[in-house]
Structure 1
Amino acid sequence: MKIMNLKDVNGLFKVIDACSGTVELISKEGDRLNLKSKLTQYVALVNVFSDDIINELELVAYEAEDIQKLANFMYNQK
């Protein structure tokens, strides 16, 4: 799932924490980072999410209900 114009990184992490399955961030190099890990979230905050608005982000969620949670978050993002 491609996420565009992400403004609320902390909100995204709250949604990811509420997911039941694995949620991965796909890096530009193709690496998969497990965003359910607090350590990985910290590293992502420092390296990937350094701007106020993230123009493009690719996430993979494996559970249908998790995909729906992430889609709802992005749709309702102000």
Structure 2
Amino acid sequence: MSPKMVELHDVDVPEFLKVLDGCEGEIYLMTRDGDRLNLKSKLCQLVGLTRLIEGGKIAEAFIMCEKESDESKLFRFNLYKKSGEDEE
């Protein structure tokens, strides 16, 4: 199965990190320069996210997911701006 791509806009970083922690497969941040950073790695999270943050939020990012379930989580997060843990 081919990896899935999600485009994120105006993302709250702490909530985004919560969603990443709940993902099962590998998640990659794609830069406009063609770099790929594995966001399951805390070091890559720091390096990758600091390059994209504007005013405390991620302005724009392209995320590639290996698992369809992770793509769904990130798509819902992008749409509703919540990690999903709030719903109880």
| TM bucket, shorter chain | 0.7 to 0.9
Structure 2 counterpart of 1:61: 65
Q: Rg larger in 1 or in 2? A: 2
> How many correspondences in the alignment?
77
Structure 2 counterpart of 1:26: 30
Q: Distance in 2 between matches of 1:42 and 1:50?
A: 14
Uncovered stretches (5+) of structure 1, i.e. residues with no partner = none
Structure 1 counterpart of 2:3: none
Which whole-Å deviations, capped at 9, do the CAs of 1:31-66 have from their partners, x for residues lacking one? 110000001111123322243333321000110110
Q: Distance in 1 between matches of 2:48 and 2:33?
A: 14
Q: Relative to total residues, which structure has the larger helix share, 1 or 2? A: 1
For normalisation by structure 1, the TM-score amounts to 0.85
Percent of aligned pairs with the same amino acid: 36
For normalisation by structure 2, the TM-score amounts to 0.77
Q: Distance in 1 between matches of 2:41 and 2:66?
A: 16
**1:47 equivalenced with 2:51 (yes/no):** yes
Q: Distance in 2 between matches of 1:9 and 1:27?
A: 17
Aligned Cα RMSD in Å? Answer: 1.6
Q: Relative to total residues, which structure has the larger strand share, 1 or 2? A: 2
**1:74 equivalenced with 2:78 (yes/no):** yes
Compute the displacement of 1:69 (Å): 0.7
